Amino acid sequence: MTARFDLIVIGAGMAGIAAANKCAAQGWRVAIVDALPYGGTCALRGCDPKKILRRGAEIIDASQLMRGKGIDDGQIRINWTDLMRHKRGFTDPAPANMENDLRRHGVQTLHGQAQFVDAHQISIGNDSHHTDRVLIATGARPRPLQFHGNEHLIDSTEFLELEVLPPRIVFVGGGYISFEFAHIAARAGSHPIILDHGPRPLKGFDPDLVDLLIAGGDVAGVHVRPSTTVTAVRATASGYQVQVDQDGTLTTIDTDLVVHGAGRVPELAELDLDRAGIAWCERGISVEPYLQSTTHPGVYAAGDAADTAGPPLTPVAVIEGKVAASNMLKDASTVPDYTGIPSAVFTIPELARVGLLETEARDLGLKIDVRYTDASTWYSSYRLGEDTAAAKILVNKDDDRIVGAHLLGPDYTEHANIVALAIKLGLTTRQLKTTTAAYPTLGSDLGSML
């Protein structure tokens, strides 16, 4: 079968779906294709299902924090099978719902592995389609690991489908995936260990708050080993043996499960990009700031598949998908605005960041006022029984505007959302402090942090 389109979108995640719907709404003939079920990583294999599982961990943690303060947690525990069933109640219907919505918007939905024949011809199985433009939004996959026995590791997708959570788990890598899953696993009764190659995990977050998170996680049963390199993984009669080099000392760790949390790379290997002369590198498709390919004017890229200045976050992918679509529709050169986009690690409690790190601000020559707050004894922490809560707000002394905010505490991502709005709109801390929040709420703490 051969068909002609104004646009073919490769990748049915959030970036691709946003762009396909936008272009179809303007009367374009649009098709979208994916080799996997529609919805992408975030909805099916990442953000959303992970946070559903985290809800179970939150309940356990909340009951433990209130032990001796009016709550007898008794036999409260996570039933992993039931929690997974609850998760699937969201993820299972999602692909069909998304595909049906695309069709309602006039988008033709295709399935299979897309490959370039040239910059304007895409093959999917035995079918070939001609298109004036292509948007590549294929997302990312786990980074290949080089040590012996790497085939024994499961990735984040497989972790989110585990029927049984084993008692001993090793997470390789000190990023989002390892920390978030380890915090869930610990509250579900497992004993997780995070092995990080570098001296400090979660490198994109404030080091002082990361230290607090690690200390609190250790009490909860999440143990982090920095400066630890995995050299091999071997299957044993009872599970796996992980061989590690920690500061020059070789040791082994016996475990039931080893999980890959050592980063992700753009999912581009199966597209035959070289055949179409589309430039790319290990960071993604080479694009202009307005998301058009540097080598083909009819090709655009967005999200994790594109080498852009945006952080690898789902909201950023959606922004880029919409900007790419708008630029194609209008033959324009609009650049995505990444100002004030928050990021978070959904550990317990959660860690969030908006704007610059302290070192980044100083490297830029900014005169900053570092406003650090230990909120562990504040009312909002006390009522929960929580003793890990802190904030570091970076304020430009020249104009009183926030250039960075780093937040650790229960539901502190909501603080991050307010700060993100302030950074986006250029509000000063004086303006923020004139707002009267409902009390007692978490939001009422922000003024005191400023």
The set of residues, in sequence order, having a beta carbon less than 8 Å from that of 127 and lying 6+ positions away, is: 1, 2, 3
Alpha-carbon gap, residue 361 to 368, rounded angstroms? 7
SS3 label, residue 430 = helix
SS3 label, residue 69 = coil
Would you state the structure tokens that stand for residue 7, as one six-digit string? 């646009």
Is 367 labelled as part of a ligand binding site?
no
SS3 label, residue 194 = strand
Alpha-carbon gap, residue 339 to 355, rounded angstroms? 8
Q: Are 130 and 2 in contact (CB under 8 A)?
A: yes
| Residue 416, φ and ψ in degrees, nearest 5 | -60, -40
The set of residues, in sequence order, having a beta carbon less than 8 Å from that of 144 and lying 6+ positions away, is: 150, 265
The DSSP output letter for 42 is I
Is 173 labelled as part of a ligand binding site?
yes
Is 205 labelled as part of a ligand binding site?
no
Alpha-carbon gap, residue 13 to 6, rounded angstroms? 20
Alpha-carbon gap, residue 98 to 303, rounded angstroms? 18
Is 381 labelled as part of a ligand binding site?
no
Is 32 labelled as part of a ligand binding site?
no
The DSSP output letter for 151 is G
Q: Are 164 and 155 in contact (CB under 8 A)?
A: no
Is 322 labelled as part of a ligand binding site?
no
The DSSP output letter for 198 is S
Is 298 labelled as part of a ligand binding site?
no
Is 412 labelled as part of a ligand binding site?
no
Is 263 labelled as part of a ligand binding site?
yes
Is 116 labelled as part of a ligand binding site?
no
Which residues belong to the annotated binding site for FAD?
Answer: 51, 304
Which residues belong to the annotated binding site?
Answer: 51, 173-180, 263, 304
Which residues belong to the annotated binding site for NAD(+)?
Answer: 173-180, 263
